[in-house]
Structure 1
Amino acid sequence: MSRGIYIIANDRVIDQTIALIKSIRFYDAETPIMMIPYDDNYGAIADLLTTTYGVQIYEDLEFVNRLSIKLSDVFGQRFFARPNQFRKQACWFGPFDEFLYIDTDIVVFEKIADNLNYLSEYDFICCDYQHNGGIENVFSPKVIELNVFSEPELKDVFNCGFWGSKKGVITEDDLYATFEECAQHPEYFDFTQKTSDQPIINYMILKRVPKRFNIVRRPGGGPGNWGGSTRFQRDGFRLIDPNVNQPLQYLHWAGIRIEPGCPYWEIWEHYRYLNEEKPAYYPSVKRKKSLRQRLASLIKGR
């Protein structure tokens, strides 16, 4: 039986990807890591990861592209803000019998692949407190009004940045059937924050994978992992969650731009430049103003 870790990346997230890979390798030199290209702009990151860090590139890229296009076509090419996120669904059909999927805006603080041991009892694992926020960014209140899911089922919503499962638990037919069903009921989902895959994949797991487990529900509870939480305490270059008096398993900057001044910047910077010299300075990044900001500037005469 083979185990491995999948990531999805391109040349726009080189630094984030390096930080993630270095953190994984700091605690685990052996578990295979495979990159699924987010789009065709992946030449530089592929060269770096394969030559320096021993990362493999997903072999059947024609399948990845076909799968992504077919899934997004069900809703229409312009429906999702980031349809290429659906490329991560190739995880179900890759070479690993058991796998973790990890977003690149994460660093880990342990041999993260050991969490795959939970798959001896379950078919799907996640590890977050997304459920504490209710169904926001996943479902609309319609799923409650129409009894699409029960209250206990809705407590199993999860963040799609970190999860694990087994090859074959979801088939291509399962994916296509799920998307067709969801396309008939877009009112079930919350896309207001421009999430793309998270609502649909939550629906699929809640409907099709009954043997699922959120690792934060283990005996004694589990630590948080969101980069927007202010309670975590430094322990060298790891973090402790005082709520459960446990070290974090990983930190996820979901919805947060990773840059100097962001929460836990020193943690990310440490892993990004592990065994490298840190930059003397970081160039500032000019960002486009939002429409609201541009209108406000016009009104103020700027």
Structure 2
Amino acid sequence: MTNGIYILANDVVYDQLVALLNSIEANAGKKYPICIIPYDDRLELVRREIKTRGNVQLFEDSDAIARWDNFAVEVWQTHPTIISEWRQKGITGIFRKGMHRRFSLFDGPFESYIYLDADILILNSLDFVFEQLNKHDWVVYDFQYNDPSHVYNVRSPKLLEVFPQERIEKEIFCAGFYATKRGIFDKEQREWLLLQLMLGESEILYPSAPDQTILNYMVMRSGISSYNFAHELPESDRTGCCVTSPHFQEQDYILYDKGNRLTYLHYIGLSASLFTRLCAGENIGFPYRDLFLHYRYLYEPEKRPKFNGKPKAYNQPPNLATKILRKLNFIKGI
């Protein structure tokens, strides 16, 4: 296979996965095969959904998954304190270990690919992203460079020794949407990166976004050719992508930013449980909610939940009873 799309998912994000798959089909077509990489073993709903779609398969290369799971463990073992800090917080092993599964795609079946988090909707053709891979090894379209504190440990004095400020301001990216090629990080390259981390560079990693910080480090430290449409497109043509942007305009179930069609919308920062509860009939409001519901129920509109009254804000503070129950660990917070 040549070009394809990978999505990291499990049953926890099932409703988001269905919406994403439907949005890809509606706005990017069926030309690209899609492969779901398992976050973990909770896959009953995912497997059932795959059976209904001819161009979607499950990534089941256990050797590749194991190889890159081990790599993630080795990366964090080079950090002087984080393993013990996670243990003190009750985290066994690696924090958000399943998120590191996206690394195994470097050994996946697609020669070139776009990776997507499940909390995304595709709203435009993806051809231009793949075309850019003819010139570069890593392609993104986001504005994460405005906030390096969620990519690296900006308090580390080592950071500017490893990467000059101008590279940090230009090259960092969000790990939720990117395009790259198979095999760009071979065994020799991985071992070299681990060596640099063991020699002291691991302190610049940001453990609260463990997969994102590693990916940024791998790309930037290796010096591979990278390209960000957010930098390269004329200001008049570029668009935002995050649900936190309130100014997007909707027309025919597509979003526009000052007249320009968005490539994707990322519901970043919204808990998967919000989407599950919404689809179960709970009247919760969040930005671009109806757009999500449109794509989630694109092929089964009769199942779309019907709501009466004003929706409850997703970030509404919990009432006293809920606070008490959470404190007693009877229910989990969002």
> Which residue does 1:204 correspond to in 2?
218
Task: Specify the code of the residue in structure 2 equivalent to 1:269.
Answer: L
Task: Specify the code of the residue in structure 1 equivalent to 2:250.
Answer: R
> Which residue does 1:272 correspond to in 2?
296
Is the 2:193–2:218 contact (alpha carbons within 8 Å) kept by the matching residues of 1? yes
248, 266, 289: which one aligns with 1:232: 248
Show CA shifts across 1:208-235 (max 9, x none).
1431000122332310101111121222
> Which residue does 2:98 correspond to in 1?
84
> Which residue does 1:22 correspond to in 2?
22
* CA-based RMSD: 2.9
Query: How far has the Cα of 1:43 moved from its partner?
Result: 2.7
Cα distance in 1 for residues equivalent to 2:38 and 2:93: 21
Show CA shifts across 1:145-191 (max 9, x none).
64210122112100000001111212244335434543644431233
The aligned runs of 1:167-246 (5 Å cut-off) are: 167-179=182-194, 181-182=196-197, 184-191=200-207, 194-221=208-235, 222-242=238-258, 245-246=259-260
TM-score, L = length of structure 2: 0.78
The aligned runs of 1:97-136 (5 Å cut-off) are: 97-133=111-147, 135-136=148-149
Is the 2:241–2:264 contact (alpha carbons within 8 Å) kept by the matching residues of 1? yes
262, 283, 287: which one aligns with 1:248: 262
Q: Residue 114 of structure 2 aligns to a residue in which SS?
A: strand
Show CA shifts across 1:4-33 (max 9, x none).
001111111110100100000112122100
Task: Specify the code of the residue in structure 1 equivalent to 2:41.
Answer: D
Show CA shifts across 1:31-57 (max 9, x none).
100011111111320221233353111
The aligned runs of 1:7-156 (5 Å cut-off) are: 7-27=7-27, 28-52=29-53, 54-76=55-77, 78=92, 80-133=94-147, 135-141=148-154, 142=156, 146-154=160-168, 155-156=170-171
TM-score, L = length of structure 1: 0.85
Q: Residue 5 of structure 1 aligns to a residue in which SS?
A: strand
Cα distance in 2 for residues equivalent to 1:266 and 1:62: 40
Task: Specify the code of the residue in structure 1 equivalent to 2:181.
Answer: K
**Structure 1 residues 179, 280: CA separation in 2 closer, same or farther (over 3 Å shift)?**
farther
Cα distance in 2 for residues equivalent to 1:297 and 1:196: 27
Show CA shifts across 1:128-161 (max 9, x none).
011122x111112226764210122112100000
Q: Residue 100 of structure 2 aligns to a residue in which SS?
A: helix
Number of aligned positions between the proteins: 289
Show CA shifts across 1:97-150 (max 9, x none).
1100000000011122441100111111011011122x1111122267642101
Is the 2:255–2:262 contact (alpha carbons within 8 Å) kept by the matching residues of 1? yes
Q: Residue 285 of structure 2 aligns to a residue in which SS?
A: coil
Is the 2:114–2:177 contact (alpha carbons within 8 Å) kept by the matching residues of 1? yes
| Percent identity between the two aligned chains | 30
Task: Specify the code of the residue in structure 2 equivalent to 1:178.
Answer: L
Cα distance in 1 for residues equivalent to 2:296 and 2:191: 38
> Which residue does 2:86 correspond to in 1?
none
Is the 1:233–1:240 contact (alpha carbons within 8 Å) kept by the matching residues of 2? yes
Cα distance in 2 for residues equivalent to 1:296 and 1:2: 49
Task: Specify the code of the residue in structure 2 equivalent to 1:156.
Answer: E
The answer to whether 1:163 aligns with 2:178 is yes
Is the 2:20–2:295 contact (alpha carbons within 8 Å) kept by the matching residues of 1? yes
Query: How far has the Cα of 1:281 moved from its partner?
Result: 5.0
Query: How far has the Cα of 1:255 moved from its partner?
Result: 1.1
**Structure 1 residues 75, 145: CA separation in 2 closer, same or farther (over 3 Å shift)?**
closer
Moved more, 116-125 or 259-268: 259-268
Is the 1:74–1:180 contact (alpha carbons within 8 Å) kept by the matching residues of 2? no
